[in-house]
Structure 1
Amino acid sequence: MMEKKVVLTYDGLKKLEEELENLKIVRRKDVAEKIKEARGQGDLSENAEYDSAKEEQAEIEARIVVLEKMLRNAEVIDDEEVSADVVSLGATVDVYDVEFDELMTYTIIGSAEADPMNGRISNESPVGMALLGHKVGEKLSIDTPDGEAIFEVRGIKR
Protein backbone atom coordinates (compact mmCIF):
# COMPACT_ATOMS: atom_id res chain seq x y z
CA MET A 1 0.00 0.00 0.00
CA MET A 2 1.37 3.42 -0.98
CA GLU A 3 1.85 5.84 1.88
CA LYS A 4 0.58 9.36 1.40
CA LYS A 5 3.19 11.96 0.47
CA VAL A 6 3.69 14.70 3.05
CA VAL A 7 4.17 18.05 1.33
CA LEU A 8 6.55 20.34 3.23
CA THR A 9 8.41 23.57 2.73
CA TYR A 10 12.16 23.49 3.35
CA ASP A 11 11.59 25.32 6.67
CA GLY A 12 8.91 22.83 7.65
CA LEU A 13 11.25 19.94 6.89
CA LYS A 14 13.97 21.46 9.08
CA LYS A 15 11.49 22.01 11.96
CA LEU A 16 10.33 18.39 11.85
CA GLU A 17 13.93 17.14 11.76
CA GLU A 18 14.81 19.35 14.74
CA GLU A 19 11.76 18.15 16.69
CA LEU A 20 12.68 14.52 15.98
CA GLU A 21 16.26 15.06 17.08
CA ASN A 22 15.09 16.79 20.29
CA LEU A 23 12.70 13.95 21.08
CA LYS A 24 15.33 11.27 20.50
CA ILE A 25 18.26 12.95 22.24
CA VAL A 26 16.83 15.22 24.94
CA ARG A 27 13.29 14.14 25.79
CA ARG A 28 13.98 10.39 25.82
CA LYS A 29 16.83 10.94 28.29
CA ASP A 30 14.71 13.24 30.48
CA VAL A 31 11.80 10.82 30.71
CA ALA A 32 14.14 7.87 31.37
CA GLU A 33 15.52 9.83 34.33
CA LYS A 34 11.97 10.53 35.58
CA ILE A 35 11.15 6.81 35.39
CA LYS A 36 14.35 5.92 37.23
CA GLU A 37 13.56 8.41 40.03
CA ALA A 38 9.98 7.20 40.30
CA ARG A 39 11.12 3.57 40.54
CA GLY A 40 13.37 4.56 43.43
CA GLN A 41 10.31 5.66 45.40
CA GLY A 42 9.16 2.08 45.95
CA ASP A 43 5.80 0.44 45.15
CA LEU A 44 5.02 1.09 41.46
CA SER A 45 1.39 -0.01 41.70
CA GLU A 46 0.37 3.23 43.42
CA ASN A 47 3.08 5.52 42.12
CA ALA A 48 1.48 8.41 40.18
CA GLU A 49 4.86 9.86 39.18
CA TYR A 50 5.87 6.54 37.63
CA ASP A 51 2.56 6.27 35.74
CA SER A 52 2.89 9.85 34.52
CA ALA A 53 6.47 9.30 33.33
CA LYS A 54 5.53 6.08 31.52
CA GLU A 55 2.63 7.90 29.84
CA GLU A 56 4.97 10.70 28.76
CA GLN A 57 7.40 8.11 27.42
CA ALA A 58 4.62 6.50 25.35
CA GLU A 59 3.63 9.91 23.93
CA ILE A 60 7.23 10.68 22.98
CA GLU A 61 7.68 7.31 21.27
CA ALA A 62 4.38 7.72 19.39
CA ARG A 63 5.41 11.18 18.17
CA ILE A 64 8.79 9.82 17.04
CA VAL A 65 7.03 7.17 14.95
CA VAL A 66 4.77 9.82 13.38
CA LEU A 67 7.68 12.17 12.60
CA GLU A 68 9.81 9.39 11.12
CA LYS A 69 6.93 8.36 8.85
CA MET A 70 6.32 11.98 7.79
CA LEU A 71 10.00 12.52 7.01
CA ARG A 72 10.23 9.22 5.12
CA ASN A 73 7.33 10.34 2.90
CA ALA A 74 8.30 14.01 2.66
CA GLU A 75 8.09 15.85 -0.62
CA VAL A 76 9.76 19.26 -0.31
CA ILE A 77 8.37 22.22 -2.23
CA ASP A 78 11.18 23.76 -4.28
CA ASP A 79 10.83 27.56 -4.03
CA GLU A 80 12.38 27.91 -7.49
CA GLU A 81 9.57 25.84 -9.01
CA VAL A 82 6.75 27.87 -7.43
CA SER A 83 5.07 29.90 -10.16
CA ALA A 84 4.03 33.50 -9.72
CA ASP A 85 1.63 33.16 -12.68
CA VAL A 86 -0.75 30.60 -11.23
CA VAL A 87 -1.67 29.56 -7.67
CA SER A 88 0.35 26.47 -6.77
CA LEU A 89 1.81 24.75 -3.72
CA GLY A 90 4.17 27.11 -1.93
CA ALA A 91 2.62 30.25 -3.41
CA THR A 92 1.44 33.18 -1.32
CA VAL A 93 -1.87 34.47 -2.65
CA ASP A 94 -3.70 37.75 -2.07
CA VAL A 95 -7.41 36.98 -2.19
CA TYR A 96 -10.32 39.41 -2.08
CA ASP A 97 -13.45 38.13 -0.29
CA VAL A 98 -16.35 39.76 -2.17
CA GLU A 99 -18.98 39.18 0.55
CA PHE A 100 -16.95 40.64 3.41
CA ASP A 101 -15.08 43.25 1.33
CA GLU A 102 -11.82 41.96 2.80
CA LEU A 103 -8.37 41.29 1.36
CA MET A 104 -6.66 38.20 2.82
CA THR A 105 -3.28 36.63 2.22
CA TYR A 106 -2.80 32.87 2.25
CA THR A 107 0.23 30.69 1.72
CA ILE A 108 -0.74 27.34 0.20
CA ILE A 109 1.23 24.53 1.87
CA GLY A 110 0.86 20.87 2.80
CA SER A 111 -1.43 19.83 5.63
CA ALA A 112 1.49 18.97 7.95
CA GLU A 113 2.43 22.65 8.20
CA ALA A 114 -1.00 24.24 7.96
CA ASP A 115 -1.71 27.05 10.43
CA PRO A 116 -4.92 28.78 9.29
CA MET A 117 -4.81 31.37 12.08
CA ASN A 118 -1.55 32.63 10.54
CA GLY A 119 -2.65 32.49 6.90
CA ARG A 120 -0.95 29.16 6.13
CA ILE A 121 -3.63 26.92 4.62
CA SER A 122 -3.46 23.36 3.41
CA ASN A 123 -3.69 22.44 -0.23
CA GLU A 124 -6.27 19.90 0.98
CA SER A 125 -8.56 22.49 2.63
CA PRO A 126 -11.64 23.68 0.71
CA VAL A 127 -10.12 27.14 0.11
CA GLY A 128 -6.63 25.83 -0.66
CA MET A 129 -7.95 23.25 -3.12
CA ALA A 130 -10.19 25.76 -4.86
CA LEU A 131 -7.42 28.36 -5.26
CA LEU A 132 -4.95 25.98 -6.91
CA GLY A 133 -4.58 26.60 -10.63
CA HIS A 134 -6.18 30.06 -10.68
CA LYS A 135 -4.56 33.24 -12.02
CA VAL A 136 -4.62 36.88 -10.96
CA GLY A 137 -7.98 38.48 -11.75
CA GLU A 138 -9.97 35.25 -11.74
CA LYS A 139 -13.04 34.95 -9.53
CA LEU A 140 -14.05 31.67 -8.00
CA SER A 141 -16.85 30.30 -5.87
CA ILE A 142 -15.76 28.11 -2.97
CA ASP A 143 -17.96 25.83 -0.88
CA THR A 144 -16.73 26.37 2.69
CA PRO A 145 -18.07 24.98 5.97
CA ASP A 146 -19.78 28.38 6.46
CA GLY A 147 -21.40 28.31 3.01
CA GLU A 148 -20.45 29.60 -0.41
CA ALA A 149 -17.73 32.26 -0.65
CA ILE A 150 -16.81 34.33 -3.70
CA PHE A 151 -13.10 35.13 -3.95
CA GLU A 152 -11.01 37.02 -6.48
CA VAL A 153 -7.30 36.31 -6.85
CA ARG A 154 -5.51 39.69 -6.56
CA GLY A 155 -1.86 38.64 -6.41
CA ILE A 156 0.49 35.65 -6.42
CA LYS A 157 4.01 35.60 -4.97
CA ARG A 158 6.46 32.83 -4.32
Structure 2
Amino acid sequence: MPRVPPYKSFLSQGPMTRASMFLLFLLPACALFQRPPRPVHASKEEAAKVEFPLALPEEGRQIIGGATLKAIQLAMDDYLPWDHKTPSSATPLQQCLSRREAYDVVAAPGPQGVVFVSIVPNPDVCDVGGPPLLDVGAIYSIDVTGWRILSVQQ
Protein backbone atom coordinates (compact mmCIF):
# COMPACT_ATOMS: atom_id res chain seq x y z
CA MET A 1 0.00 0.00 0.00
CA PRO A 2 1.53 3.34 -1.02
CA ARG A 3 2.35 5.76 1.73
CA VAL A 4 0.13 8.87 1.75
CA PRO A 5 2.07 12.09 2.21
CA PRO A 6 1.17 13.83 5.50
CA TYR A 7 -0.01 16.95 3.70
CA LYS A 8 -2.89 15.05 2.06
CA SER A 9 -6.08 15.10 4.05
CA PHE A 10 -7.85 11.98 5.16
CA LEU A 11 -10.83 12.88 2.98
CA SER A 12 -8.75 13.11 -0.18
CA GLN A 13 -7.76 9.42 -0.07
CA GLY A 14 -10.55 8.32 -2.37
CA PRO A 15 -14.28 8.18 -2.97
CA MET A 16 -14.85 5.19 -0.67
CA THR A 17 -13.28 6.97 2.28
CA ARG A 18 -15.33 10.09 1.61
CA ALA A 19 -18.51 8.03 1.43
CA SER A 20 -17.60 6.23 4.66
CA MET A 21 -17.00 9.53 6.44
CA PHE A 22 -20.28 10.93 5.12
CA LEU A 23 -22.19 7.91 6.44
CA LEU A 24 -20.33 8.07 9.73
CA PHE A 25 -21.69 11.57 10.33
CA LEU A 26 -25.12 11.04 8.74
CA LEU A 27 -26.27 7.86 10.49
CA PRO A 28 -26.29 9.24 14.05
CA ALA A 29 -28.46 12.12 12.79
CA CYS A 30 -31.12 9.59 11.76
CA ALA A 31 -31.84 9.02 15.44
CA LEU A 32 -33.27 12.54 15.57
CA PHE A 33 -36.08 11.60 13.18
CA GLN A 34 -38.01 9.10 15.29
CA ARG A 35 -41.59 8.29 14.48
CA PRO A 36 -44.19 8.35 17.22
CA PRO A 37 -44.89 4.92 18.66
CA ARG A 38 -47.74 2.97 17.12
CA PRO A 39 -50.85 2.47 19.28
CA VAL A 40 -51.10 -0.83 21.15
CA HIS A 41 -53.72 -3.23 19.76
CA ALA A 42 -55.59 -5.84 21.78
CA SER A 43 -55.07 -9.53 21.14
CA LYS A 44 -57.14 -11.21 18.42
CA GLU A 45 -59.11 -13.06 21.10
CA GLU A 46 -60.01 -9.84 22.91
CA ALA A 47 -60.81 -8.04 19.65
CA ALA A 48 -63.16 -10.87 18.61
CA LYS A 49 -65.34 -10.14 21.67
CA VAL A 50 -66.11 -6.58 20.56
CA GLU A 51 -69.51 -6.06 18.94
CA PHE A 52 -69.84 -2.92 16.88
CA PRO A 53 -73.27 -1.24 16.77
CA LEU A 54 -74.95 -0.71 13.41
CA ALA A 55 -74.88 3.04 14.12
CA LEU A 56 -73.11 5.01 16.82
CA PRO A 57 -75.48 6.02 19.61
CA GLU A 58 -76.74 9.62 19.56
CA GLU A 59 -76.32 10.08 23.31
CA GLY A 60 -72.78 11.15 24.16
CA ARG A 61 -71.69 11.25 20.54
CA GLN A 62 -69.27 14.01 19.60
CA ILE A 63 -68.53 15.04 16.05
CA ILE A 64 -65.16 16.72 15.64
CA GLY A 65 -64.27 18.14 12.25
CA GLY A 66 -60.99 17.13 10.67
CA ALA A 67 -59.45 20.62 10.86
CA THR A 68 -60.37 20.95 14.53
CA LEU A 69 -59.04 17.47 15.27
CA LYS A 70 -55.70 18.24 13.62
CA ALA A 71 -55.47 21.59 15.47
CA ILE A 72 -56.06 19.78 18.77
CA GLN A 73 -53.42 17.19 17.87
CA LEU A 74 -50.84 19.87 16.98
CA ALA A 75 -51.48 21.72 20.23
CA MET A 76 -51.36 18.58 22.37
CA ASP A 77 -48.21 17.29 20.64
CA ASP A 78 -46.54 20.59 21.52
CA TYR A 79 -47.94 20.84 25.05
CA LEU A 80 -47.28 17.21 26.04
CA PRO A 81 -45.10 15.48 23.42
CA TRP A 82 -45.60 11.74 22.87
CA ASP A 83 -42.01 11.01 23.96
CA HIS A 84 -42.26 13.06 27.19
CA LYS A 85 -40.63 11.21 30.07
CA THR A 86 -41.73 11.88 33.65
CA PRO A 87 -38.74 12.01 36.01
CA SER A 88 -38.57 9.26 38.63
CA SER A 89 -38.58 11.94 41.34
CA ALA A 90 -41.94 13.35 40.14
CA THR A 91 -44.68 13.89 42.68
CA PRO A 92 -48.01 12.04 42.25
CA LEU A 93 -49.54 15.27 40.90
CA GLN A 94 -46.72 15.68 38.36
CA GLN A 95 -47.13 12.05 37.32
CA CYS A 96 -50.86 12.60 36.85
CA LEU A 97 -50.34 15.80 34.84
CA SER A 98 -47.92 13.99 32.51
CA ARG A 99 -50.82 11.91 31.11
CA ARG A 100 -52.85 13.27 28.20
CA GLU A 101 -56.12 11.96 29.60
CA ALA A 102 -55.69 14.30 32.58
CA TYR A 103 -56.58 17.29 30.40
CA ASP A 104 -59.74 18.73 28.90
CA VAL A 105 -59.56 20.44 25.53
CA VAL A 106 -61.80 23.20 24.21
CA ALA A 107 -61.48 24.24 20.57
CA ALA A 108 -63.13 27.20 18.86
CA PRO A 109 -62.82 28.72 15.40
CA GLY A 110 -61.03 32.03 15.11
CA PRO A 111 -60.59 34.51 12.28
CA GLN A 112 -59.08 33.66 8.88
CA GLY A 113 -58.26 29.96 9.17
CA VAL A 114 -57.30 29.98 12.84
CA VAL A 115 -58.50 27.55 15.51
CA PHE A 116 -57.99 28.35 19.19
CA VAL A 117 -57.25 25.32 21.36
CA SER A 118 -57.36 25.52 25.16
CA ILE A 119 -55.72 22.71 27.15
CA VAL A 120 -56.53 22.68 30.87
CA PRO A 121 -56.14 20.00 33.54
CA ASN A 122 -59.34 18.27 34.62
CA PRO A 123 -59.54 18.62 38.43
CA ASP A 124 -61.61 15.43 38.62
CA VAL A 125 -58.74 13.39 37.15
CA CYS A 126 -55.78 14.80 39.09
CA ASP A 127 -56.36 15.52 42.75
CA VAL A 128 -54.62 18.86 43.25
CA GLY A 129 -55.36 18.82 46.98
CA GLY A 130 -56.04 22.52 47.22
CA PRO A 131 -56.98 25.50 45.09
CA PRO A 132 -57.19 24.98 41.32
CA LEU A 133 -53.96 25.05 39.36
CA LEU A 134 -53.83 28.36 37.54
CA ASP A 135 -50.34 28.02 36.09
CA VAL A 136 -50.99 24.74 34.25
CA GLY A 137 -52.48 24.59 30.78
CA ALA A 138 -52.21 26.69 27.66
CA ILE A 139 -54.18 28.31 24.86
CA TYR A 140 -52.90 27.74 21.33
CA SER A 141 -53.57 29.67 18.16
CA ILE A 142 -53.32 27.18 15.27
CA ASP A 143 -53.14 28.10 11.58
CA VAL A 144 -55.24 25.38 9.94
CA THR A 145 -54.26 26.34 6.41
CA GLY A 146 -50.50 26.03 6.96
CA TRP A 147 -50.74 23.60 9.91
CA ARG A 148 -48.50 25.50 12.27
CA ILE A 149 -48.67 26.96 15.74
CA LEU A 150 -49.05 30.73 15.52
CA SER A 151 -48.72 31.49 19.23
CA VAL A 152 -49.09 30.01 22.69
CA GLN A 153 -50.44 31.71 25.80
CA GLN A 154 -49.54 29.98 29.07
What's the TM-score once normalised by structure 2's chain length? 0.24
Q: Which has the higher strand share?
A: 1
Q: TM-score, normalised by structure 1?
A: 0.24
Q: Which structure is larger by alpha-carbon Rg, 1 or 2? A: 2
Q: 1 or 2 for the larger relative contact order (CA 8 Å, sep ≥6)?
A: 1
More helix per residue: 1 or 2?
A: 1
